Amino acid sequence: MTKHTQLHDAMIIGGGPAGLSAGLVLGRARKHVVIMDEGRPRNHVTRETHGFLTRDGVSPAEFRSIAREQIQAYPSVRFVEESAVSVAGSDGDFQVTTSQGKVYRAKKLLFAVGKKDRLPVIEGLGDVYGKSAFVCPYCDGWELRDQPLVVIAKGEGAVHFAKVIAGWSDRYTICTNGPDEMTAEQREDLKRHNIPVYDTPIRLIDSSNGLVQQVVLEDGTRLPCTGIFFAPQLVTGSDLPASIGCQLNEAGSVIVDSFGKTNVPGVYSAGDAATEMYQAIVAASMGSMAAAGLNSELLMENWNRK
Ligand SMILES: Cc1cc2nc3c(=O)[nH]c(=O)nc-3n(C[C@H](O)[C@H](O)[C@H](O)COP(=O)(O)OP(=O)(O)OC[C@H]3O[C@@H](n4cnc5c(N)ncnc54)[C@H](O)[C@@H]3O)c2cc1C
């Protein structure tokens, strides 16, 4: 085990929009920071990131590469491309151990570990995910506007999706992919809006070069479409926040105040890890806020020590 004895000001675990944004703010605040990232961002499947002012349409990889290039102008920030596997210690001296057995020390921790999507098990979904099947209309609805779509969702989630997708297309069908708990009233509401609902399980998604052509149901029904929206199950990007005592809400998000502070002294969280509003620009904004909160705490501690 290699122990890095330098006590950094902060360790940021996760180098997506949230962690990188925090790194930029802390670098400019002259703090010694490690950004540790294992390189598995939520949106790795997509070709383009949309809705981030000045970066609309760039690939997730290009987004990160521009961010890293700009952060590298601040020499007190270093990047470590490893997984953090455990955290120990307390406010003022946390120890983060990596998958390669190295140990980094930092006064404060910032979890920007994101969330992970668990896809429904449907043959062919992996071929179209991120190319013509998406999870969020704010991210990818514009590209699929006015097109024939299939929404794969269940229950209350299906009804909510139906109402939201209506902002981008009025040609869509709901597939619950098996028996569903939607109430008669909800079904009537969808019927009134001329939205067909199919309960038959999906046999497969037919596509060519990542572009969906039709959704085929177990009973042979074919639903031609050029795009899919579906609701994945979301889980926390890492168990580390919980392992050190951070409280999570029912959605698995770390509970934070407006400056990203958790219930554990010296521990912050930002981005998808700490919200259910999944947008890169929101994650970056939360990272910036958390960095300001964390920096302010360091400054006050330093001030009071003298
Ligand atoms: C298919 C899809 C398309 C999307 N399209 C858009 C879009 O067009 N526009 C938009 O605004 N948003 C989009 N999003 C949402 C967007 O991806 C997220 O809101 C954003 O990535 C959140 O940033 P983050 O920094 O919180 O997390 P992430 O970007 O997920 O980054 C978290 C990082 O932490 C790392 N990590 C986790 N645990 C550890 C650990 N233990 N050690 C080291 N590293 C760790 C991960 O590997 C990852 O690199 C999309 C999401 C999906 C799923």
Residue 205 CA to ligand 1 centre (angstroms): 25
**For ligand 1, is residue 18 a contact (CB within 6 Å)?**
yes
From atom 29 of ligand 1, which residue's Cα is the shortest distance away?
16
pLDDT given for residue 65 in this prediction: 96
**What is the residue whose two structure tokens read 């290699």?**
2
- 63-91 confidence digits (pLDDT tens): 999 999 999 999 999 999 999 999 999 99
Of the two residues 282 and 1, the one the predictor is more confident about is 282
- Assign residue 209 a region: left if phi > 0, alpha if psi is -120 to 50, beta otherwise? left
User: How is residue 260 written in tokens?
Assistant: 């990203």
- 164-208 confidence digits (pLDDT tens): 999 999 999 999 999 988 999 999 999 999 999 999 999 999 999
Residue 179 CA to ligand 1 centre (angstroms): 32
pLDDT given for residue 1 in this prediction: 60
From atom 51 of ligand 1, which residue's Cα is the shortest distance away?
43
Pairing of strands 77-80, 84-90: unpaired
Contact call for residues 18 and 43 (beta carbons, < 8 A): no
Pairing of strands 233-236, 115-118: antiparallel
pLDDT given for residue 2 in this prediction: 64
Angle at CA of residue 186, ends 182 and 192, nearest 5°:
140
What pTM was computed for the model?
A: 0.96
For residue 285, give Cα distances in angstroms to 16, 106, 161, 288.
12, 23, 26, 5
Give dist(CA 39, CA 94) in Å, integer. 22
Residue 189 CA to ligand 1 centre (angstroms): 35
